[in-house]
Amino acid sequence: MENNLSAYWMGFTANRQFKQSPRMFTKSKGMFYYTPENLEVMDSIAGLWCVNAGHCHSKIVSAVQQQVAELDYSPAFQMGHPKAFELANRLTNLLPNSLQHVFYTGSGSESVETALKIALAYHRAKGQGQKTLLIGRERAYHGVNFGGMSVGGMVANRKMFANLLGNVDHLPHTHDISKNAFSRGLPSHGMEKADVLNDLLNLHDPSTVAAVIVEPIAGSAGVLLPPKGYLEKLRAICDQHDILLIFDEVITGFGRLGDSFATNYFGVIPDILTTAKGLTNGTVPMGAVMISDEIYQAFMHGPEHTVELFHGYTFSGHPLACAAALAALDVYEEEKLFQRQDGIYQYWEDAMHSMMNLPFVIDIRNLGLIGAIELEPVAGSPGKRAFQAFLNAYEAGLLIRTTGDTIAFSPPLIIEKQHIDRLVETVSKVLKHLT
């Protein structure tokens, strides 16, 4: 029977365009996807920033296979299974000492909702129930649920839904190509954008503010890097006013920058940290929120038979996800994928910036194994030029991801120099033929 493609309403997809000319994958291995016709497509985005150890890694595959035959599901409330505790310990060992507790979720969006709820409940537990304001940032992406969408700052994701959380404000974004175009690594200009937090605190009064949430590097809005000193400044201002700092590390976690997490890379420690994606190498859906001991202890009061936090998901700490995550952490460690020692980061940076003179390129940015090429938009049709580049790259055997008019690269961390060369060659051809 022929499948009716319209039955599946695809998320964040141009459904009508896709269904006229579908792009399907039926197999994957290492750096590559394969179409039903067995055409090879190189993956320059690790699926969606998640398959950090490469596709169908045999260790992760067999860990999930074994787990599903042994313990398929275990209730997430009032019951446990050993791997969930083992994983929590493995995760906290990767993080600064203050982040000692892990709350499991099923995705990045759920991690963000969990973090925001814990922030509000924490202040209330401390008798500061008036601290309810949440501060996000323009052009931020914190997933698609109501809390994350509200603190997020991607206009297209917000304007369709109108009914956002009320008690929210936003910092300005830090992207400024008039001063920082073609920066290698962190941009030099823009640290003062963090001072706007002081202005917002003056406006609202710090005693009403619960938390500030930022992505250390904004990915979905087009790879926006923090100016030098910016994250440190946010941390200092939050400390001064008893405001929680939340880092959304859904894309920066698990080796993307050349360290396990952005908090370690930047040496700036949040009170709450959200992750997902690379946690299981993308194999099984899972997210996690790391929480400071101070926050956790604020809830551990009252009669011992009572629930301390009225929050959780049926699939929190799912056994298959835990098995996948434990195997993924083993692979990351064994293959030293968090900190490659073979000059790959420099090779990547040079390769990215080698494309600066191609047609329509107005900026190139990079850090760790992240890269972005910003294109000049077609007048009156934002996003059109980059979307055409995406379609043409796919035809040429390369999977890229575009957001607005930016092409964002986040390859599996197993990428080798020959793959980088192939990426540059394909992207160069694609851009030269764009109109």
For residue 432, what is the DSSP state? H
Q: Rank residues 54 and 219 by Cβ distance to ligand PLP and give the closer one.
A: 219
Q: Rank residues 164 and 424 by Cβ distance to ligand PLP and give the closer one.
A: 164
- Return all residues near 343 (Cβ < 8 A) that are at least 6 apart: none
Contact between 231 and 268 under an 8 Å Cβ cutoff? The reply is yes
Q: Rank residues 262 and 358 by Cβ distance to ligand PLP and give the closer one.
A: 262
- Tokens representing residue 407 in the block: 């092409």
Q: Rank residues 55 and 142 by Cβ distance to ligand PLP and give the closer one.
A: 142
Contact between 258 and 348 under an 8 Å Cβ cutoff? The reply is no
Contact residues for ligand PLP (CB under 6 A)?
Answer: 107-109, 112, 141-143, 215, 219-220, 248, 250-251, 276
Concatenated DSSP letters of 201-260: HHHH-GGGEEEEEE-SSB-TTT-BPPPTTHHHHHHHHHHHTT-EEEEE-TTTTTTTTSSS
- In whole angstroms, the minimum distance from the beta carbon of 317 to ligand PLP comes to 16
Dist. CA 31–CA 54, nearest whole Å: 6
- In whole angstroms, the minimum distance from the beta carbon of 250 to ligand PLP comes to 4
- In whole angstroms, the minimum distance from the beta carbon of 248 to ligand PLP comes to 4
- In whole angstroms, the minimum distance from the beta carbon of 29 to ligand PLP comes to 23
- In whole angstroms, the minimum distance from the beta carbon of 55 to ligand PLP comes to 18
- Return all residues near 418 (Cβ < 8 A) that are at least 6 apart: none
Tokens 């599946």 sit at which residue?
8
Q: Rank residues 54 and 285 by Cβ distance to ligand PLP and give the closer one.
A: 285
Residue whose Cβ sits closest to ligand PLP: 108
Dist. CA 95–CA 80, nearest whole Å: 23
Q: Rank residues 54 and 153 by Cβ distance to ligand PLP and give the closer one.
A: 153
